[in-house]
């Protein structure tokens, strides 16, 4: 029973925030997984502007989530401030979207546009009308601030995102931080780093996550502070999840010193992501951390530590499947501790100083 409870708690790392962010009946991609370059290259038209009007065009018999149902067809008129890609015949664009009737949208993710919202739109043509390129990633909140710098295409979008980082509206600034990270590759991360000295914990968390998405690990040691508040609000909890996901995906040897430092965190989800990343990087410095993790209270961390040691030593006989590990965990824990005492410890040197930024 205790083991089952532990695994349910750890499942928060894998699924919890996904469920919080996505509707149960219509699971979508992970929030923060959008790629601006990919969306930009795919969409024929990329603009930003304000929704000025929304009207129902008709109701039809359609399909939603594999079920036949009544579907409302709507048209939203967007007054465009910026055109990043494509051409317009006027100063506004009509966007068609559909929504099922009834209560379906209370448990499923549905397309919707509301009067007054200001977004970045990635649009495509469908049946002689415009639609969102993707129901999950077809539009994003964005600051109304813009740059006066010369540029076109995605370069102009990047300049506008940088300008919007300084928006005094917290929600707009946070939106631009996320989008800046979603650029995936930039010439300089300085616009984000300049925000850190005066940023509160929520904004710092957003910046840390954006830097990780940009493969900038200079602030990786500081990400641990995001997990020091167990009573964090929902927005911070969502960013905690996204940070742990990004850390678990780190594959750069340059990040190892910071990861070794973070492996000492009191947060089980942070330790889990760190040990997972170290396992895949397979740097020799990680061996002492893996040995310590063999006694971690969390079973999935112990399992990743076993696989990390097996990867370092290329000893696949001591690299069980998860199911086999659970059936006889003590066997593998004892084997690796025995190896460490008899020969492993002499082969590896524990870092004597914390990693340098």
Say yes or no to pLDDT of 300 above 70.
Answer: yes
Mean pLDDT along residues 38-54: 97
**What's the CA angle centered on 143, arms 140 and 145, to 5 degrees?**
145
What is the structure's pLDDT at 11? Answer: 44
Among 107-111, 137-141, 166-170, 203-207, which is the least confidently predicted range?
A: 107-111
Q: Judge whether 263 and 274 are in contact, CB under 8 Å.
A: yes
182-208 confidence digits (pLDDT tens): 999 999 999 999 999 999 999 999 999
What is the structure's pLDDT at 355? Answer: 39
Residue 11: which H helix or E strand, with range? helix 2-11
302/154 same-domain check = no
What is the structure's pLDDT at 26? Answer: 46
210-268 confidence digits (pLDDT tens): 999 999 999 999 999 999 877 778 999 999 999 999 999 999 999 999 999 999 999 99
**What's the CA angle centered on 332, arms 326 and 335, to 5 degrees?**
165
99/218 same-domain check = no
Q: Over the range 282-318, which residues count as b (16 or more CB within 10 Å of their CB) and which as e?
A: ebebbbbbbbebbebebbbbbbbbbbbbbbbbeeeee
- The CATH number covering residue 306 comes to 1.25.10.10
- The CATH number covering residue 103 comes to 2.40.50
Mean pLDDT score of the chain, rounded to an integer?
A: 88
What is the structure's pLDDT at 210? Answer: 97
- 10: in domain: no
Q: Which of 189, 222, 249 is the last residue of a domain?
A: 249
Mean pLDDT along residues 312-334: 95
87/205 same-domain check = no
SS (H, E, C) 167-204: CCCHHHHHHHHHHHHCCCCCCCCHHHHCCHHHCCHHHH
d(CA 92, CA 81): 9
- 152: in domain: yes
- The two beta strands, 118-126 and 129-132, are antiparallel
> Structure pTM?
0.86
172/119 same-domain check = no
User: Count of H helices and E strands in the chain?
Assistant: 15, 6
211/265 same-domain check = no
pLDDT band at 74 (very low <50, low <70, confident <90, very high): very high
- 16: in domain: no
Query: What is the domain extent for residue 355?
Result: 250-357
**What's the CA angle centered on 193, arms 191 and 198, to 5 degrees?**
105
More confident call, 302 vs 149? 302
- 51: in domain: yes
What is the structure's pLDDT at 96? Answer: 95
- 11: in domain: no
Domains: count for the chain: 3
- 65: in domain: yes
What is the structure's pLDDT at 106? Answer: 76
The tokens for 292 are 């310590």
88/217 same-domain check = no
pLDDT band at 31 (very low <50, low <70, confident <90, very high): low
Say yes or no to pLDDT of 352 above 80.
Answer: no
274/206 same-domain check = no
Under DSSP, is residue 263 helix (H, G, I), strand (E, B) or coil?
A: coil
90/229 same-domain check = no
244/296 same-domain check = no
pLDDT band at 27 (very low <50, low <70, confident <90, very high): low
Q: Which of 223, 249, 275 is the last residue of a domain?
A: 249
134/50 same-domain check = yes
324/269 same-domain check = yes
- 3: in domain: no
What is the structure's pLDDT at 33? Answer: 78
Q: Which of 117, 140, 163 is the last residue of a domain?
A: 140
- 157: in domain: yes
76-90 confidence digits (pLDDT tens): 999 999 999 999 988
Mean pLDDT along residues 11-40: 58
263/185 same-domain check = no
Say yes or no to pLDDT of 357 above 90.
Answer: no
What is the structure's pLDDT at 223? Answer: 96
What is the structure's pLDDT at 350? Answer: 55
Q: Over the range 204-225, which residues count as b (16 or more CB within 10 Å of their CB) and which as e?
A: bbbbbbbbbbbbbbebbbbbbe
d(CA 226, CA 236): 8
What is the structure's pLDDT at 30? Answer: 66
Say yes or no to pLDDT of 351 above 60.
Answer: no
Question: What are the residues whose beta carbons fall under 8 Å from the beta carbon of 338, sequence distance 6 or more?
Answer: none
């Amino acid at each position: 029973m205790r083991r089952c409870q532990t695994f349910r708690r750890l499942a928060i790392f894998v699924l919890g925030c996904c469920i919080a962010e996505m509707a149960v009946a219509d699971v979508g991609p992970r929030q923060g997984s959008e790629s601006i370059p990919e969306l930009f290259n795919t969409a024929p038209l990329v603009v930003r502007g304000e929704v000025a009007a929304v009207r129902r065009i008709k109701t039809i018999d359609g399909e939603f989530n594999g079920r036949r149902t009544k579907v409302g067809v709507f048209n939203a008129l967007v007054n465009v401030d910026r055109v990043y890609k494509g051409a317009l015949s006027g100063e506004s664009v009509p966007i068609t979207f559909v929504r099922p009737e009834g209560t379906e949208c209370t448990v499923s993710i549905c397309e919707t546009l509301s009067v007054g919202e200001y977004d970045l739109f990635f649009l495509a043509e469908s049946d002689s009308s415009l639609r969102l390129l993707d129901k999950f990633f077809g539009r994003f909140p964005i600051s109304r601030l813009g740059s006066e710098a010369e540029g076109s295409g995605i370069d102009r979008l990047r300049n506008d995102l940088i300008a919007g980082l300084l928006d005094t509206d917290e929600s707009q600034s946070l939106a631009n931080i996320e989008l800046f990270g979603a650029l995936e590759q930039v010439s300089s991360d300085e616009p984000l780093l300049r925000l850190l000295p005066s940023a509160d914990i929520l904004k710092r968390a957003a910046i840390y996550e954006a830097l990780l998405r940009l493969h900038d690990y200079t602030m990786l040691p500081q990400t641990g502070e995001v997990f020091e508040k167990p009573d964090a609000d929902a927005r911070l909890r969502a960013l905690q999840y996204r940070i742990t996901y990004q850390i678990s995906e780190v594959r750069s040897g340059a990040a190892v010193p910071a990861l070794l430092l973070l492996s000492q965190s009191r947060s089980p989800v942070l330790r889990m992501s760190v040990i997972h990343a170290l396992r895949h990087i397979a740097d020799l410095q990680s061996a002492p951390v893996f040995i310590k993790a063999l006694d971690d209270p969390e079973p999935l961390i112990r399992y990743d530590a076993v696989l990390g040691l097996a990867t370092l030593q290329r000893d696949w006989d001591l690299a069980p499947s998860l199911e086999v590990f659970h059936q006889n965990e003590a066997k593998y824990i004892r084997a690796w501790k025995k190896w460490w005492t008899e020969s492993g410890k002499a082969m590896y040197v524990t870092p004597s100083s914390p990693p340098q930024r």
